[in-house]
Amino acid sequence: MAITTPVVGLVQVYPGGRTTVSENDFRALCKRTTGRVLNGLVT
């Protein structure tokens, strides 16, 4: 749950048009967010 919740929040914002990032930038944002969560769980 801790891994998926931040990305689910981003996915809810993106299709609603509440952000102006491109699809590639959005995918990179999701990847960075997941990496940060995983790094936080490891430490």
- pLDDT tier at 20, thresholds 50, 70, 90: confident
Domain ranges of the chain: 4-42
Which sign, positive or negative, has the C-alpha torsion 23, 28, 32, 34? positive
DSSP 1-43: -TTHHHHHHHHHHTTTT-----HHHHHHHHHHHHHHHHHHHH-
Q: What is the pLDDT of residue 31?
A: 93
Q: Is the pLDDT assigned to residue 38 strictly greater than 80?
A: yes
Rounded Cα–Cα distance for residues 16 and 38 (Å) = 27
Average pLDDT of 25-34?
92
Rounded Cα–Cα distance for residues 29 and 19 (Å) = 12
Instruction: Please state, rounded to an integer, the average pLDDT across all residues of the chain.
Output: 88
Name the one residue in this structure whose structure tokens are 């960075």.
32
